[in-house]
Amino acid sequence: MPDNVNGAITDAVTQANVKVLADSPALSLSNLYQTVSQSLSLSVQNAVTMQQQSNIVHQATTTQGVNLLYTVGTAAASMATGETLEADTSDNLTNMLGTVMALKEQNQKPTT
């Protein structure tokens, strides 16, 4: 029993298979382009994040430096106070009192 199939039907099936085969390279390239674009955008996002973290480190370092500059006067006064409390002679007490008064005057001067 021979199978006779209409030529229009076989032509339609053949054309459909050719269409599927023709779409395959286009789909694979589109997947490749999408993967590459996502990878590039992720690397740019990581670069921006690293810049922001770097700025945070610089800001923290600057803040610590300014805090050190502001506490120098306090540290000197506390050292003078500690030496005054440990002093035995009146000469040492007089010298320490002069140092504390000078520091006090220096801190009371208005800064511009």
- For the four alpha carbons of 99, 101, 102 and 103, in that order, the dihedral sign comes to positive
User: ∠ CA(84), CA(90), CA(100), 5° rounding?
Assistant: 40
Whose structure tokens read 């803040």? 63
Q: Kindly list the domain boundaries of the chain, sorted by start residue.
A: 8-108
Each residue's pLDDT tens digit, 66-100? 877 777 676 677 777 777 666 566 676 677 778 88
Contacts 24+ apart (CB under 8 A), 72-75: 73/103, 73/106, 73/107
Each residue's pLDDT tens digit, 18-67? 666 667 788 888 899 999 999 999 999 988 888 877 777 778 888 887 87
